[in-house]
Amino acid sequence: MPPEPLSENDKCVSSQGPRCSMAPADFRLRSLRRLSDCGMELQPRVFLLGLLLLEQALSDVIRYFNPSVLRPLCPSGKSAVPYNEAEHLWIQARELVRSMKENPHLDFQNDWKLINVFFSNASQCHLCFSTEQESLVLSNMDKLARTLDYLHQEVPKAFVNLVDLSEATGSSHRNQDTRLSSSQEPCRCLAETSRLSRVVMQWSYQESWEKFLASSKYNEQKSFTAVFQPLFSETALSSLVEETPIQDPTTLALNLWNSMMEPAGQKDEPLNEKERTPIKCPTREKPYLFTYKNSNYLPNSSKPSKKIEVKEGAEIRCPDKDPSDSIPTSVHRLKPADIKVIGALGDSLTAGNGAGSTPGNVLDVLTQYRGLSWSVGGDQNISTVTTLANILREFNPSLKGFSVGTGKENTPGAFFNQAVAGDRAEDLPVQARRLVDLMKNDTRINFQEDWKIITMFIGGNDLCDFCNDQDRYSPQNFTDNIRKALDILHAEVPRTFVNLVLVLEIVNLRELYQEKKVYCPRLILRSLCPCVLKFDDNTPELATLIRMNKMYQERTYQLIESGRYDTGDDFTVVIQPFFEKVDMPKNSEGLPDNTFFAPDCFHFSGKSHARAASALWNNMLEPVDQKTAQHNFENKTNITCPDQEWPFLSTYKNSMQGHGSLLLCRNRAPSDSPPTSVHALRPADIQVVAALGDSLTAGNGIGSKPDDLGDVTTQYRGLSYSSGGDGSLKNVTTLPNILWKFNRNLTGYALGMGAANDTNAFLNQAVPGAKAEDLARQAQTLVQRMKEDSRVNFHEDWKVITVLIGGSDLCDYCTDSNLYSAANFFDHLRNALDILHREVPRALVNLVDFMNPNVMRQVFLGNPDKCPVQQASALCNCVLSPRESSQELARLEVITKAYQNSLRELVESGRYDTREDFSVVLQPFFRSVQVPVMEDGRPDTSFFAPDCIHPNQKFHSQLSRALWVNMLQPLGKKMDSLDLARVIPLSCPTQDEPFLRTFRNSNYTYSTMPSTENWGSDFLCTEWSPSNSVPTSVHKLQPADIKVVAALGDSLTRAVGARPSNSSDLLISWRGLSWSIGGDGMLDTHTTLPNILKKFNPHILGFSTGTQEETAGLNAATEGARARDMPAQARELVDRMKKNPEINLQKDWKLITLFIGSNDLCHSCENPEAHSAQEYVRHLQQTLDIFYEELPRAFINVVEVMELTGLHQGQGGKCAMPLAAQSNCTCLRGYQENSPEFQNLKQLNWNFQSALSKLSYQHQYMQREDFAVVVQPFFQNTVIPLNDRGGADLTFFSEDCFHFSERGHAELAIALWNNMLEPVGRKTTSNNFTHSRTKLKCPSPEHPYFYTPRNSQLLPDQSQEPSRVVNWAVPVAAVLGLVVGVGVVMAWRAIRGC
């Protein structure tokens, strides 16, 4: 077939000479043409002997250098298939010579000829040690000699390739045509063959052939040469288990060609059946086929040998080599001389492969010099052999466990060196199990009492094979396997110090591999570590390997720094990071210095073992946060002596002092440029810290001595968990001291002692005793200080502000449950955060959840001998005074939960995520605190100040750590508990997650909307008992005194459309869900006025249930009703009460709610005189007169009509009936907002409300002691909220956008109830329709009654018109009057900006 044209991608490129890049599967005639561009002086004719297909493929390659090359020539009348016995190759040689001489196209004497001789070894003894191997090579050469002698004698100008196909074409039974040895003669050495030995022996086999041929007669003449061409498979070199796949002829031809392009002694690239095979081209400097002579080949044994390496010793001149005075019980007080046993786990670097090999003796790399092993070897002594064991023997000559001599892990000399050559992390658990068993069974050691050091080092082989199976060698699996091994040691081996040496930075091995001026057996290197060495520079594969190397290291840090192995005092694991970054050692010429490596250039030489031992020892003595993480083998490391004042091996715990902490973060850099988004904020970007709160943040009692109760009033602000800056992180753990480690220009932190207005308090503006209502004032002061202080660049600096409040509120909650209600707590906190949000640029606010007060109670009351129990009521009355299992204590739990829910609801409302440079994040670590229990079962007071209420420095240190950890944890995964006894390591930002976490960079979605099936409320009231006797005065009426509920009105009171309809019929009246009269379910799931009252009196009567008329109870409302219909409803209602045998009309207290007026407004334009304010009030007075005359003991709620005039025609809305309100509200239809008709409607709406507001003060309704009319004004200025997209939130309304949904009814019930508990004249005249389960107010102990004008101490002539919002916005849409549109959105935005 004619050659196909080459693409641009097929051009030759230069990399150690020109190359043509193509895949084996693509290798066809089209790809070969480019080879002719590479140039070649020698123009050989080709005659192939052996495999016809391979011959043809190679012939096609050569054809592009010389188009006149002959096709593979077979002897006349013969096929190219060889004889069955390889020793008969000479018969084929005779046929070949005859054919060449007779071929008319060949000038036999003058043409150059390339002849390939193929053979294989069925016995696989080429993988055996040198004696059998050399015997095999000599045997094969004897069998080939007759053929080579004949060709040498008969054929002039011949280049002969001896091609070994032992590994290239699959198992031996496939290659019977080319075998030189019988498969019935198995090699006895194979049972002992490992991957390392296989690779070394393969290289040695190749070396044996090349050494033999280079010195043979076949390379003495200029007209004849024979060159060994190995075709070893990468798979065969890597595994004895997997069968080598058969290579296709084209691939073999390409690899044979590439072998011919490599100098003798440098043919080191094995076949890889899975990857592209780049074709090498002759270079201009060396355009010829390589022979032993033009390669300047010298056998490895003939190369100039350096001096036999002298083992590297050391000298130790430490003044104190003594053990502790008594055997230590803590691993954190362990001196070197206390160590009695040493052990090690790992791979060939710990096994000592090649550590004692003489230069050039590659085969000796298979010897495991365990006595020279850096971490556990014990040959000779420190003066001649530097190892960790020999260093420790200088401190304790009786040390046991070190390995001596040579041998595998199961030899006696290995002792507790259980490293296995070739092992990976997945093999560590088996090693650990074997080591533990050996230690337990060895009588030379006291397993329980002796202190042990075990060094673990693994990972090189994992990285070397990573690209072949990325799942198997993933960073997660790597650390999981280390964890499994450490878990075994942790669970079973007492008194142990484990050195976990970080996996080394392996990529620098490429320098040695790529430097051709330095001799190394590159076939061995490439085969042992293909994933590091086989990829070109700047390739994605190499970048991935480097990244995985770092992730191995990072995940190892995370495992150990989690504190998993610091659960007791007799065991620890410490990372020794000196291998984290490793420089390739260089010689005086600036080339990689291979004297630091064993003869295979992969394993350590004795010199490297010695220097690694010194580096490990020094790492062990360095504080954990100051360990050397870079090792330069070139520099001989002096052996450090233990510090005389602190002579212990360094652990995570003893590397800090007092209440300090370790910050082990490697990357502490800020962003490349100051971030503009709070969601891209790194710790080092923080320049200012500040805090708001109460005495906890102010630091009361942090530094007080245990018996100095009076000192609790001292404010130790410099030690405060969130804003203190005393000392340094080494001895004082606070958030600023942690952040200072990232940015030493940090400012804002407090120092020393003093009040909030003291200079040294700086931006810690917390005030002892502060409650939520004080927080806004603190926020204003803080903002002013930041603006005025020259140390703060207010607009440019990034700030962290920590807010913690609520404890003082709970301490006083029982004194006024309304004042300290969850709703008020919510409002006060919101006000403070609003100030920060409005005023402070570039800020991240930590809103810390407060501690459950039960913790304080347990500590305080559980230690009467240590805590000032006599002062309980003065210190925190509502928490410390209630009896166990009392109703008061139960209510405290409820209000605590309500406060905590308020925090969450406020943050998750999204209110503070409207700016890119500001966010509030709830840090929940403080929510659930576990205090350690002492042996006598009492809570541990060592975490508290002398008052047993305030945390001391020990406690604050844990708070700081937990806060920091929370700040780095993504939302949705934050730690929400604090175990004071647990070790809390300081987390670090990671490469993938370097930011302080916010909702956005956590990919977190706020879940503020509860299930639409549940709009219940939490009952938080602490006083729910009825009056001691049935009251006779309506002005002494408590909620529990109500026995009967009733209502009248229109479709809103009937709850039309409260739930979606399942058909196209008219909407259903869900009376059981009605805000003022519904009684379905219970308060937990349905918020209605009767369900609230049920909490006070479970036997209340009159409420509606379900949807049927039969269960309407005392709900007399009718659809479409107007004020004129109310007298009739009143008579109907009175009649039902009189006929109900369960109601005692004379004695039962009745609560009746009247709400009407929307329909009057909607139709007022049809007949203005009939719908005037005077007529409206006249009808209501008639109604009230009926109740006044007919009903004893009655409390009448008259709910003001809503503002309807804000509704005007708009567009949009996802409603079944987009303009239902307008279509049912005649007077809104088609009017423009500025039209006279619209203005008249607004005035009428105002007149209705104004006239109705005076009903409470009418003289005729104030004559009876048992009757009251109270106007509830919450509907005056109520507005609907916006959804996340800025539109009206339709979840409050039914599917017709006309009536209220169940959610809307719940909000109306809450608003009505709260109005009833507010004094007349001071009632709330608006309602913020936002969901919260904790908005219900409670009667206060001082005033447990429903408010009337009289008990509000408000006389009629003292009443004032309720204030109104000038820009009244969009009112809540209700029955016959609701529509949602663009006007609603615009008006809501307007009022929100007020």
CA–CA gap between residue 737 and residue 574 (Å, rounded): 24
- Bridge partner list, 341: 400, 452
Cβ proximity of 570 and 329 under 8 Å:
yes
Amino acid at 435: L
Cβ proximity of 385 and 492 under 8 Å:
no
CA–CA gap between residue 922 and residue 802 (Å, rounded): 10
- DSSP states along 790-826: TT--TTTSEEEEEEE--HHHHHTGGG-TTTT-HHHHH
Q: Is position 164 annotated as part of the catalytic site?
A: no
- Bridge partner list, 1295: none
SS3 453: strand
SS3 1195: strand
Chain position carrying tokens 């031992």: 613
Chain position carrying tokens 């004849």: 224
CA–CA gap between residue 1337 and residue 817 (Å, rounded): 8
CA–CA gap between residue 218 and residue 152 (Å, rounded): 7
Query: Would strands 451-457 and 339-346 be described as parallel, antiparallel, or unpaired?
Result: parallel
- DSSP states along 424-445: -GGGHHHHHHHHHHHHHH-TTS
CA–CA gap between residue 1249 and residue 1156 (Å, rounded): 11
Q: Is position 1256 annotated as part of the catalytic site?
A: no
Residues in Cβ contact with 1123 at an 8 Å cutoff, skipping those fewer than 6 apart:
1156, 1157, 1160, 1175, 1176, 1179, 1180
Catalytic residue selected from 332, 490, 603, 1163 = 603
- DSSP states along 592-640: B-GGGB-TTSSSB-HHHHHHHHHHHHHHHHS-GGG---EEETTSPPPPP
What letters, b where the CB count within 10 A reaches 16 and e where it falls short, cover 1331-1349? bbbbbbbbbbeeebbbbbb
Distances (CA, A) of 106 to 110, 225, 464, 897, 1009: 9, 20, 50, 101, 92
Cβ proximity of 1116 and 1133 under 8 Å:
yes
CA–CA gap between residue 59 and residue 48 (Å, rounded): 9
Chain position carrying tokens 């409820």: 894
Nearest to 846, CA basis, from 716, 741, 739, 773: 739
Catalytic residue selected from 59, 208, 348, 403 = 348
Q: Is position 462 annotated as part of the catalytic site?
A: yes
Residue 393 corresponds to which tokens in the numbers above?
């023997």
CA–CA gap between residue 811 and residue 1378 (Å, rounded): 44
Cβ proximity of 1014 and 1306 under 8 Å:
no
Residue 879, Cβ neighbours under 10 Å: how many?
27
CA–CA gap between residue 289 and residue 282 (Å, rounded): 8
CA–CA gap between residue 908 and residue 1009 (Å, rounded): 10
E strands within 123-243? 158-164, 224-230
Cβ proximity of 663 and 987 under 8 Å:
no
Catalytic residue selected from 10, 364, 427, 462 = 462
Q: Tell me which DSSP letter residue 218 carries.
A: G
Distances (CA, A) of 240 to 194, 233, 252, 271, 532: 8, 12, 21, 16, 21
Cβ proximity of 1021 and 1344 under 8 Å:
no
> Which residues are tagged catalytic?
348, 462, 603
